[in-house]
Amino acid sequence: RGLRVEVPAPYATDDDIQSYLDRLRNQFAELVVAERAATDGDHVTIDISGSLGDEAIPGLTAEDYLYEVGSGAVVAEIDENLRGAAAGEVKEFTAAHPDPDEERELVFTLTVKEVKEKVLPEVDDEFAAQASEFSTAAELRDDISTRLSAVKKSQAKVSLRMKTQEELAKLVEDEIPQAMVANEMQARLEDLSQRLRAQGLGLEQYIAMMGSTPE
């Protein structure tokens, strides 16, 4: 009696709905040429040449390569040099080889050919028809709210159960009997063994695959 726990709200907030809409808008974004220096999130068209010693590396050499600034897709030094770079600039720099046993550094030359920024569509009826089966933005928002609220409600129920168990456990001052621990462990082992058998595996085989021991 009097036990209190805090759980997440079991409904979708305006921020939740907006975050979902922003992710959806991002899928339908257009890339538009920007007459400015590149920043994180921009897409730049570059010629890239990476070499080790005097040997060019095929996987790091390309022309008209479209790269998202800030993605960290290759090495961090690429993003560092592209930030603030405008079309027509050439960047030369070195970067540590990803193989720790390789002492030589990678040498890069980047030529920035074009900077493009993402332009997200407005959330209107036209966007709703393009991005979903609904004909109006209001219907799209209502559907997102309903689906997110269902997920939030489920998460809240799980959180309520778990946090209630945690708070109840704090009220137990007695030592847990080893027999109870052993029974729980055996029950979990049997459950695991049944699930493994359903997949055609034995418990010993599973333990070996995991590189573990029965203990």
Tell me what pLDDT residue 199 has: 83
Give pLDDT tens digits for 34-45: 999 999 999 999
How many whole angstroms separate alpha carbon 93 and alpha carbon 125? 48
pTM, two decimal places: 0.62
Give pLDDT tens digits for 165-200: 999 989 988 888 999 999 999 999 899 889 888 888
Which of 76-88 are b and which e, b meaning 16 or more Cβ less than 10 Å from the residue's Cβ?
A: ebbbebbeebebe
Query: Do the strands 30-33 and 105-119 form a parallel or antiparallel pair, or are they unpaired?
Result: antiparallel
In which band, very low, low, confident or very high, does the pLDDT at 131 lie, cut at 50, 70 and 90? very high
Return the C-alpha torsion angle 180, 184, 185, 190, nearest 10.
140
Question: Is 90 exceeded by the pLDDT of residue 59?
Answer: no
Give pLDDT tens digits for 84-130: 999 999 999 999 988 888 889 999 999 999 999 999 999 999 999 99
Tell me what pLDDT residue 86 has: 96
Please state the rounded mean pLDDT for residues 137-153.
95
Question: Is 80 exceeded by the pLDDT of residue 214?
Answer: no
Tell me what pLDDT residue 98 has: 83
Tell me what pLDDT residue 140 has: 96
Q: What does the mean pLDDT of the chain come to?
A: 92
In which band, very low, low, confident or very high, does the pLDDT at 215 lie, cut at 50, 70 and 90? confident
Cα atoms in the Cβ-side hemisphere of radius 13 Å centred on 200? 0
